Amino acid sequence: MIAKRRLRLGLLSLAAAAGGVVLIMILLQAFSRPALRWRVDLSSGGTAALSDRTAEALAALPEGSEAVAFLFQEERRLEENGSAVYATAFGRLRTLLEDARIRSRGRLGVTVVGVRSSPVEQQAQLQRSRRQPLETLILTTPGGGRRALRFHELFVTSDPTPEGMPARILQERVDTALGDAALRLANQTAPRAGIVGGYGQPAESELMGLLQLLHGEGIDPVSIRGPASDKDFDLLVVVGQQRQFLETDAQAARAWVNAGRPLFLVLGPRAPQAVVDFWNGILEPDHGLRFGAGVVCDARPQAKVYEGTNLVASLELTAAQFATQHPATAHLAESTRLQGVIFCRPIELAGGGVDFARTALASSGARAWADLDQDFAVGPQERRGRQILAASAERWEAADPALSGRVVAYGSPEGLIRYLPLARDFIAPLFRWLLRIETPMGLVAVESLPFRPARAEQIRMTNIAVIAMPGLPLMIALLVFLRRRR
Amino acid sequence: MTAFRALLRRELWSFAISPFSWVLIGFWMLLNGLFFSILLRSADVQSNLGMLPTYLFGSGGLLAFLLLPVIPPLLTLRLFAEEHRLGTLEPLLTAPISDAAVVLAKYVAACLFFLVFWLGVLALFVLLQFYDAPLDWPRILSAFSGALLASALFLAVGLWTSSWGGNLILAAAGGAGVNYMLLFLPAMFSGGTGRTAAVARAMNIPQMLEVGFAAGLIDSYAVLYFPLLALLFLYLTWMRLVSRRWVP
């Protein structure tokens, strides 16, 4: 009788315990639902979580979308001299992807593949996502949409120095890149840039860097023979035009600009005068932009760049040389990253209608000059002074935002061909501004907290942490023990 | 309430006058101090001190993977197992105090005393601050709050295993074993896709510590996860005490 009662009560307590387990599991399952979760970002600068814009873009993705992060250390330079670039970057990526998973409201599955993942898992993910070298984050949708983001599209890093300084993360743009990729995948459309290629412009192979940059910014480049092309595009891009347009293309270009559609025009010092005059004729009356003459040069004796050598045509731009008020350059005006501009024709702000706002986006130093005779030294006809390297114009007010007359004039085709890496952070936001991808560049300064104590300090800290601090409780233990024995 | 307070005071006092507790703290601080010193010499941390909370409190760290699952059961093993072994549990359970109050008083005492362990780790950061190291304090405090919540859970597990019987080794090893299971089992299954992986991800403690608390991001789910699970183990402990009357 007693044994039976004990068994019954034993089973009852087991059932009650199981009930408790089930109840807690149900509660946890309910609280894990993204809709019921809130997150507080305590990190300094509030950069541990994704922005609301990116979270909304992720929540708009089709159900079953996936983000696969490949955390592989592929660039040796980012590991040299004990660099923490990969450790910091991968930590940030893990945090932001977990945030993305939660805030996408279950629409985005996140998989992280690292060197510690099993080889089978690595191989399966590599094949499934068709990963190319250097691709760090790949977003896919069930409909076949795919966006791949390379490491340098997510993080801006410095290089290690021969003096032994390691590479550092200067800035990151994971949030914006993820948001853009999600928007693009959700809409299944991307703005298209029509790149004119029929008038002596650089070949497509030479523009590969620019095409990759556009892809990275979520813009589809479209090759067109001229502005009169019947292909559909949202932005007209003319880089290094060497011959005059045929009449149909000339008319189309004029009509395009007069309609207020966006134009990115890059004419260098080698552009024929007739081409320069044609575009000045279109841009000067209303937009108030014109291409000047010569090559912008600036000597930098402290860097051993002296007048008389063609090195003066390669310019180094610091934060102070960018427009602080313009959305495309404001981030650079606050950054410490130098930009490089090579062999640039000066731009002038001249004339123009009162309904257009004009901005000198980037300028040279105050001792620069526009070299007219190609001797790379200041001549009698050449006056020193700040030269404009790139300028923009847009209407103050426009009924249709897409027709607000946004134009960027830039004087260095070389800067978009061979030397694009020197000015990448300057060029990319210009395209975004022209296409009204209004969010800022999304560069977030990554706070690096270097701490290199002297050897003596390090030894003192170790002694305190390993001997003094543990010694105190051990002493208390001994005292307590002796006292209790007594 | 008076009985609860009296029992809480008694438990706290017995922690304070136990040489074993202080030896545990010394051992804890020695290993943490060693790990801390090694981390401070690594190039990663010297390049960016912001990595320190991630390495110390995140997955892969000595603290989360070696010390945190083991030390709490060692501290709690005496709470029920020793009382059982010495035969003082029966008088306690027949005293005019509810079983729930007994469980709660012992648990709260263990949690409060464990704060001393964490004060030792906090002292390491204060030491760094003393040497003018640039510290991201909000992030460090966020990492600490995660570690505190995790230790509250592991203490509850330790309390439960301590209630299994009078065998101290079983109480300590069982507690550490359950804690390791809580740590590693979900992490093992959270890689794939499907329902199992989703549940495992929702229970992945190293993930919560590393990409949540140690990164400065406090998630409501993680904040609820640890106390709810701790509550479950306290409930199981209470059930064990109650059922002792039926099934000794």
Which value does ipTM take for this structure? 0.86
CA distance B18 to chain A (A): 7
Question: Using CB atoms and an 8 Å cut-off, which of residues 160-189 of chain A contact chain B?
Answer: 166, 168
Q: Is B43 in CB contact (< 8 Å) with chain A? A: yes
Please report which confidence band the pLDDT of residue A441 belongs to, taking 50, 70 and 90 as the band edges: very low
- More confident of the two residues A301 and A247: A247
Q: Which of B30, B225, B228 sits opposite A470 (nearest CB)?
A: B30
CA distance A52 to chain B (A): 15
Q: Are A484 and B19 in contact (CB < 8 Å)?
A: yes
Q: Would an 8 Å CB–CB cutoff place A4 in contact with chain B?
A: no
Average pLDDT value for chain A: 85
Residue-wise pLDDT tens digits, A271-291: 999 999 999 999 999 999 999
Pairing relation of β-strands A192-196 and A220-224? parallel
Q: Considering CB atoms only, which of A28, A40, A82 is closest to B47?
A: A82
A1 confidence band (pLDDT: 50, 70, 90): low
**Of residues B237, B218, B98, B212, the one with CA closest to residue B155:** B237
**Spatial separation of the C-alpha atoms in residues A69 and A50, rounded to whole Å:** 16
User: Which of residues B132 and A446 earns the better pLDDT score?
Assistant: B132
Mean pLDDT is lowest, of A50-59, B177-186, B191-200, for B191-200
Residue of B nearest to A169 (CA): B48
CB–CB contact B211 A94 (8 Å): yes
- What are the distances in angstroms from CA B143 to CA A136, A302, A439, B136? 27, 47, 32, 11
pLDDT tens-digit readout, A313-336:
988 888 889 998 888 888 787 766
Q: Provide the total of helices (H) and of strands (E) in chain B, helices listed first.
A: 14, 1
* Count of A-B CB contacts under 8 Å: 214
| Sheet order of strands, A135-140 included | A108-114, A65-71, A135-140, A146-150
For residue B162, the model assigns a pLDDT of 92
Mean pLDDT of A183-192: 75
For Cα atoms A220, A226, A229, give the angle at the middle one, nearest 5 degrees.
70
B232, B233, B238, B241 alpha-carbon torsion, rounded to 10°: 150
Domains: count for chain B: 1
Tell me what the mean pLDDT of segment A375-391 comes to. Answer: 88
- Amino acid found at A441: M
Tell me how far apart the alpha carbons of residues A53 and A437 are, in angstroms, rounded to a whole number. 13
Who has greater pLDDT, A129 or B246? Answer: A129
CB of B200 within 8 Å of a chain A CB? The answer is no
Task: Read off the pLDDT of each residue in A435-456 and give the average, rounded to a whole number.
Answer: 66
Which has the higher per-residue pLDDT, B64 or B7?
B7
Instruction: Kindly report the nearest CA distance between residue A138 and chain B, in angstroms.
Output: 17
Q: How far is CA A218 from the centre of its chain?
A: 11
| Contact A382/B at CB under 8 A | no
Q: Please, which residues 139-198 of chain B have a Cβ atom closer than 8 Å to chain A?
A: 139, 141-142, 191, 193
- All residues of chain B having their beta carbon less than 8 Å from the beta carbon of residue A484 are 17, 19
Q: What are the structure tokens assigned to B194, written together?
A: 């499907």
B214-236: per-residue pLDDT in tens?
Answer: 888 898 999 999 999 999 999 99
Distance CA A180, CA A57 (A): 8
B127 touching A, CB under 8 A? yes
What CA dihedral angle connects B11, B16, B17 and B22, to 10 degrees? 130
Taking Cα atoms as reference points, which of B72, B60, B63, B104 lies closest to residue B174?
B72
Q: Output helix, strand, coil percentages for chain B, rounded to the nearest 5.
A: 85, 0, 15
pLDDT of residue B226: 94
Q: What is the mean pLDDT of chain B?
A: 87
Nearest Cα neighbor of A212 from A290, A301, A259, A152 is A152
> Token digits for A484?
């209790």
**Cβ-Cβ contacts under 8 Å, B41 against chain A:** 458
pLDDT for B59:
64
> Which tokens belong to B54?
């991630």
Range ranked top by mean pLDDT from A347-356, A439-448, B41-50? A347-356
Nearest to A41 by CA among B118, B58, B211: B211
| pLDDT > 70: percent of chain A | 94
Instruction: Spell out which residues of chain A touch residue B142, defining contact as CB-CB under 8 Å.
Output: 42-43
Q: How many CA atoms lie within 13 A of A265 on its CB side?
A: 31
The residue type of B42 is S
Structural domain that includes position B126: 2-246
Spell out a b/e string for A460-475, using b for 16 or more CB atoms within 10 Å of the CB, else e.
ebbebbbeebbeebbe
Beta strands in A354-463 (DSSP E): 356-363, 369-371, 388-395, 407-410, 444-445
B99-130 and B19-41 helices, crossing angle to 10°: 40
Bridge partner list, A171: A156, A445
Question: Which of B41, B48, B99 to probe by mutation at the A interface, max A CB count within 10 Å?
Answer: B48
CB pair distance less than 8 Å for A474 and B22 = yes
Q: Which residue has the tokens 């300090």?
A: A457
Domains, chain A: 52-184 (3.40.30), 191-440 (3.40.50.880)
In this complex, do A469 and B17 lie within 8 Å of one another by their Cβ atoms? no
**pLDDT over 90, % of chain B:** 45
Rounded to the nearest angstrom, the minimum Cα separation between B242 and chain A is 8
pLDDT tens-place string over residues B31-42: 999 988 988 888
CB B135 within 8 A of CB A449: yes
Give B-chain residues touching A32 at CB under 8 angstroms: 202, 221
For residue A264, give the H/E element and its range.
Answer: strand A263-266
Q: How confident is the model at residue B247 (pLDDT cuts 50, 70, 90)?
A: low
Give the pLDDT mean for A91-105.
85
